[in-house]
Amino acid sequence: MLSEKMNEALNVQLNKEIYSAYLYMSMSAYSSYIGLDGFANWFMIQYQEEMTHAMKIYDYINDHGNQVKLMKIPQPPTTFDSALDMFEKTLEHEKFVTNSINELVDLAIEEKDHATYTFLQWYVSEQIEEESNDNEILSKLKLMGNDGSGMYMLNKELSQRVFVPEYTSKALSGSQNQTDNKSQ
Ligand code: FEO
């Protein structure tokens, strides 16, 4: 059983993960609109990843016999200045999520909630990876500036990204095949 405070904090984090998914879906839509299909692919996979982050928390709350309480999802921005702008906003958002995860870890320590502390370590590692990926793409974008061929190449590179599910929700039937690669 999770404390009421921890349950609420996890529900808020669940909302942030769904907002993240929504934000990246919006970036994917905008990328498609301006003809950057590789970027659209990258952001749509990011959307899928964020939904797995959300569902992992969803299942964790359920597993403890607590209630998942869905909240209103804020509207994400719908237009962006450029591909660079999208990745600057992506990195900025991921830093916000990292802070949020760190605060959750602090709460788990404060409450001596060892199970939640352990559960959150997956997110701590995930955030390092997310920020690193964003920084890498951001560096390339800054390096190429207004070079059209660089953008063409990067768009092609981002089109290669594929979704590798790291987690399948227990709430789905057939969850016996649940994958949680990172914890194995
Ligand atoms: Fe789930 Fe990108 O934070």
Angle at 9 between CA 49 and CA 122, to 5 degrees: 40
Number of domains comprising the chain:
1
The count of other CB atoms within 10 Å of the CB of residue 66 is 18
pLDDT above 70 coverage of the chain, percent: 95
Domain that residue 25 falls in: 4-170
pTM here is 0.93
CA 103 and chain centroid, separation: 17
Question: Could you tell me which residues come within 8 angstroms of residue 150 by beta carbon, excluding any fewer than 6 positions away?
Answer: 140, 143, 144
pLDDT at 160: 98
Question: From ligand 1's centre to the CA of 149, what distance in Å?
Answer: 30
Ligand 1 atom at shortest distance from the alpha carbon of 17 = 1
Report CA-CA distances (Å) from 116 to 58, 126, 150.
Answer: 13, 16, 44
Q: Give per-residue pLDDT as tens, 7-17.
A: 999 999 999 99
Question: From ligand 1's centre to the CA of 125, what distance in Å?
Answer: 11
Q: Give per-residue pLDDT as tens, 103-122.
A: 999 999 999 999 999 999 99
What's the CATH number where 166 sits? 1.20.1260.10
Q: Give per-residue pLDDT as tens, 33-80.
A: 999 999 999 999 999 999 999 999 999 999 999 999 999 999 999 999
Residue 20 lies in a domain: yes
Residue 85 lies in a domain: yes
Question: Side-chain half-sphere of 82: how many Cα atoms within 13 Å?
Answer: 10
Residue 105 lies in a domain: yes
Question: From ligand 1's centre to the CA of 80, what distance in Å?
Answer: 20
Ligand 1: list residues with CB < 6 Å: 17, 20, 50, 53, 94, 97, 130
Residue 175 lies in a domain: no
